[in-house]
Amino acid sequence: MNNRARQQYPERLYFLGALVLIVAIYLPALMGRFVWDDVLLIVHNSRIKSWQGIIDAFRLDFFYGITEIPRITYYRPLITILNVITYQLFGLKPFFFHLENLLLHIANVGLVYFLLRLAFRASPMASFFASLIFAVHPVNTEAVAFISGRTDLLATFCFLLALVTINLRHYHQLTSTKLFVFLTFVFYVAGLLAKEHVVVLGPVILLIDYFQSKAQTPQSYLRQSRSFILSISALWLSITFVYFFVRFFLIKGIGAGAYPGGTFLLTMLTMAKVFWHYIYLLILPLSQLASYQNFFMVVGMPGTFSTLHIIRLVLAIIGVLIFIGLSIILFLTKNCYALPLWWFILTLAPVLNIVPFGIWLAERFLYLPSVALAIICAFVLEYLWQKTRAQNQYLVSGLAILLILFYSVLAFQRSLVWRTNDSLWRDILSKNPHNDVALGNLAELMLAKHKYKDALSYVENALLYQNTVLRPLLLRIKTQVLINLKQLDEAEQTLAQLEQTHYNPARVVYFKGQLALQCGNTKQALQYFQQSSQLAPDLIAPRVALIKYYLKQNYNFEQVRRLALEILRINPDYAYGYLYLGIAEQHTGNPLKAIKYFQQAIHREPKNPEHYFFLANLYDELGNKDKKYLHLALRTYGKVLFLDPDHLDAMLNMGLTYVKIGKLLEAKELWQRILQHDPDNYEARANLARLAKDLLRSH
């Protein structure tokens, strides 16, 4: 092994160790599910489920047609395209979406390393430690563990790639920079198509170039680099203007954001407090939240006029002014620490509600600004290693390693929180009981689990905060819960309130159908469901209601087939669509097709016992003519009971299948288990009585 190879060997081990650490931190997230906006943007988003979605990505708003509450226009075609490709390759398997996020994060860590080496002239070891701090920082877990956080990952990737590209011209000592400038702005366009927060690329390029130049003052830099400044500024401004023109004037789904505080002044005063919380999260992220709804006391609310709050607000404003003033002084004196400070200010500015987008704070917004911490760490480590004695250099490295391990533990804990919707919203609520977003989402979860009383408690608490944006969504959940609880008078009143919010008319009509059905007015309910389907061609719920009615009446399986096919056109991953299609085929004399559709339902929801139950029943029915199907039926009933050990219908039918193959004792055991759960179960008692007679005859 030559000397160069010996030098490279430990470096490779360092990078391999860093890679293992990053993967270990995000291993829980890799095993996680779709959470929060993932359900809207991926699971229920029909636009990503065909290649047509790539074309739609360029002409439609990011959330167009898939959200219940109003949002401002987001134009992120690159993210939609990535989701389309991932879905077409892997379907609705969250592992692969999470894996892409992790690979993007690892790529960004590598780009931070190269940027520190190229643009900031940091040593290899300082760059390694600093980029590793960025890699394991807990505040970045939201962007990595949250699939929809890939907007920040991909935008940052393009942003860093652009900066690395523009700085390669110095590395290669080239006089002609046209190619590098062209590629830089190609990456800028890509970044804008991922997320608008990369809009500050132009100022950041000039900031770094100023500190790389030999000019001692901004004035001398303006004279020496006038041509470069003009070309970068012209390209940056032109592309930015075109982007915002397309976004706000040409894209279908234009929405105007409102200042979270009501006015620009009140919002900016509140953002002074938010600014310092961002810095706190960057330095000591001990208490993190996925949602900061109702976390900050908004300036202008009654409680903000207390003496203590006014003092805090004044201190926050003074602190921001000092921070900016210090950054200006360091910039004018060309102090290297001005670079990370201005990086932080510039990259954070787009998310400070200067242009309103309705969110006070989100940790994923710190993904790009957190590179500033990596830059500071590289500078500090470089300085300490140079100024301390040899033995103290190990102490400095040890402290850096301790910081990395501390951040790694916190990041791993946050990665665990992001695994499921349940763990995510409960974590938020445990830290901030006033978060009406978390309350509403937990109500939705409880509704899905048929825990209606818990759902009602959560949604009523959420409504107390009188959030006008969330109100339609919360009233919709409350209406559903009350209908299921058969509190029909209150459900009717809540539905009337929902209708006054100008909520989706098709959904309102659907709930009227549910109410009519609960009141026993079947004919009117059917009319409402049919009307709802006509009003919203892409609404699944009324079609499901019609199918359930037809199945309950045990007729019109052609209509069931038609409605099931419509559902699968809307959402090809809707497992119950395949289940209903299988039931229709079974009752119209196509058992082999029915088996195929039941298996499709199982493939999409492998942990749902109902899909196995219907397949097992069909196998049992086919077993009357071909005994081989009886063994398939027993095996499939076994899967039902593995997933739901108390599934009484599966026990009952499985016992009958055992009788058909002569295993009477096994049948007896199953039916006795049913009576332990339900002593009044007539069918189990009748079967046991018949079985006892058969056993007597056999003796």
Q: What is the CATH number of domain 607-699?
A: 1.25.40.10
Residues 6+ apart with CB under 8 A from 669: none
Sign of CA pseudo-dihedral 190, 191, 196, 201:
negative
Contact 370, 139 (CB under 8 A): yes
Contact 656, 667 (CB under 8 A): yes
Q: Report the mean per-residue pLDDT for the chain.
A: 89
Residue 33 belongs to what H/E stretch?
Answer: none
pLDDT of residue 62: 84
CA distance 186 to 180: 10
State the greatest distance between any 2 C-alpha atoms of the chain, in Å, as a whole number: 110
Per-residue DSSP letter, 333? T
Rounded mean pLDDT of 288-302? Answer: 85
The CA distance from 490 to 557, in Å, is: 35
Contact 597, 589 (CB under 8 A): no
Q: What distance in Å separates the CA atoms of residue 457 and residue 562, rounded to the nearest whole number?
A: 38
Contact 151, 195 (CB under 8 A): yes
User: Confidence class of residue 298 from pLDDT cuts 50, 70 and 90?
Assistant: confident
Its sign, for the CA torsion 291, 293, 299, 305, is: negative
Q: How far apart are CA 207 and CA 120, in angstroms?
A: 12
What is the per-residue pLDDT for 101?
Answer: 96
**Structure-derived torsion over alpha carbons of residues 113, 114, 120, 125, reported in degrees to the nearest 10:** 50
pLDDT digits (tens, 9 = 90+) for 81-133: 999 999 999 999 999 999 999 999 999 999 999 999 988 888 889 999 999 99
pLDDT at 696: 55
Report the percentage of the chain scoring pLDDT > 90.
63
Task: Tell me the C-alpha distance between 621 and 612, whole Å.
Answer: 14
pLDDT digits (tens, 9 = 90+) for 423-470: 999 999 999 999 999 999 999 999 998 899 999 999 999 999 988 888
Q: Which residues contact 267 (CB under 8 A, 6 or more apart)?
A: 259, 260, 261, 353, 356
Q: How far apart are CA 88 and CA 91, in angstroms?
A: 6
Instruction: Please check the confidence at residue 5 and state whether its pLDDT lies above 50.
Output: no
Please give the distance of CA 308 from its chain centroid, rounded to a whole number. Answer: 37
554 vs 564: which has the higher pLDDT: 564
State pLDDT tens for residues 657-693.
999 998 888 888 988 888 988 888 888 888 888 887 7
DSSP for 138-203, written as a single string: GGGHHHHHSGGGHHHHHHHHHHHHHHHHHHHHHHTT-S--HHHHHHHHHHHHHHHHH-GGGGGHHH
User: How confident is the model at residue 431, as a pLDDT?
Assistant: 93
Find how far residue 248's CA is from the centre of its chain.
Answer: 25
Give the long-range contacts of residues 663-667, CB within 8 A, separation 24 or more. 664/691, 664/694, 664/695, 667/691
Q: Average pLDDT of 33-52? A: 90
pLDDT of 168 higher than 50: yes
Q: Which of 219-233, 381-395, 580-594 has the lowest mean pLDDT?
A: 381-395
Tell me: pLDDT of 308 over 50: yes
Residue with tokens 């559902």: 567
Please name which of 131, 136, 126, 139 lies closest in space to residue 111, comparing C-alpha atoms.
131
The answer to whether residues 154 and 104 touch, using CB atoms and an 8 Å cutoff, is: yes
Q: In the Cβ-directed half-sphere of 305, how many Cα atoms lie within 13 Å?
A: 3
pLDDT at 338 over 80: yes
How long, in residues, is the chain? 699
Task: Report d(CA 367, CA 372) in Å as an integer.
Answer: 10
Give the tens place of pLDDT for each residue, 265-288: 888 999 999 999 999 999 999 989
Ranges 68-72, 88-92, 695-699: which has the least confidence: 695-699
- How far, in Å, CA of 117 to CA of 164, rounded? 10
Task: Supply the pLDDT for residue 1.
Answer: 44
Q: What's the pLDDT score for residue 253?
A: 58
Burial 540-576 (b: 16+ CB within 10 A, else e): bbbbbbbbebbbeeeebbeebbbbbebbbebbbbbbb
Q: What is the pLDDT of residues 343-359, one digit of tens each?
A: 999 999 999 988 887 78
Nearest CA to 474 among 441, 500, 510, 450?
441
User: CA–CA distance from 335 to each of 219, 235, 298, 342 (Å)?
Assistant: 16, 28, 36, 12
Label residue 391 by pLDDT band (50, 70, 90): low
Under 8 Å between Cβ of 573 and 91: yes
> In the beta sheet, which residues pair with residue 252?
60
Distance from C-alpha of 600 to C-alpha of 682, rounded to nearest angstrom: 34
Contacts of 81 (CB under 8 A, 6+ apart): 53, 54, 57
**Which residues neighbour 155 within 8 Å (Cβ) at sequence distance 6 or greater?**
191, 194, 195, 197, 198, 368
The DSSP bridge partners found for residue 301 are 299
Q: In the predicted model, is pLDDT for residue 506 greater than 70?
A: yes
Concatenating the DSSP letter of every residue in 534-583 gives HH-TT--HHHHHHHHHHHHHT--HHHHHHHHHHHHHH-TT-HHHHHHHHH
How many Cα atoms within 13 Å fall on the side-chain side of residue 684?
A: 21
Q: What pLDDT band is residue 170 in, cutting at 50, 70 and 90?
A: low
Q: How far apart are CA 598 and CA 606, in angstroms?
A: 11
* CB contact at 8 A, 652 and 684: yes
Q: How confident is the model at residue 11 (pLDDT cuts 50, 70, 90)?
A: low
Q: Which amino acid is at 570?
A: I
pLDDT for the residue 309: 85
Q: Which two tokens stand for residue 280?
A: 């706190």
Q: Which residue has the tokens 């009602």?
A: 456
The gap from C-alpha 247 to its chain's centroid, in whole angstroms, comes to: 23
Rounded to whole angstroms, how far apart are CA atoms 577 and 567?
6
The predicted model gives 394-401 an average pLDDT of: 86
Which CA distances in Å does 169 have to 178, 184, 610? 10, 11, 62
Is residue 258's pLDDT more than 80? no
Choose from 3-12, 153-162, 255-264 the range with maximum mean pLDDT: 153-162
Residue 528 has pLDDT above 90, yes or no: yes
Lowest mean pLDDT among 143-147, 273-277, 297-301: 297-301
Nearest Cα neighbor of 404 from 17, 135, 672, 83 is: 135
Residue 247 is given by DSSP the state I
Mean pLDDT (whole number) for 529-550: 91
For residue 299, what are the β-bridge partners?
301
Q: Are 357 and 372 in contact (CB under 8 A)?
A: no
Q: Which of 385-394, 566-575, 626-635 has the lowest mean pLDDT?
A: 385-394
Distances (CA, A) of 296 to 101, 299, 301, 471, 699: 30, 9, 11, 20, 79
Mean local confidence (pLDDT), 392-418: 91
Res 303 pLDDT > 90: no
446 closest CA partner among 437, 431, 457? 457
In the chain, what are the domain boundaries? 6-417, 436-503, 607-699
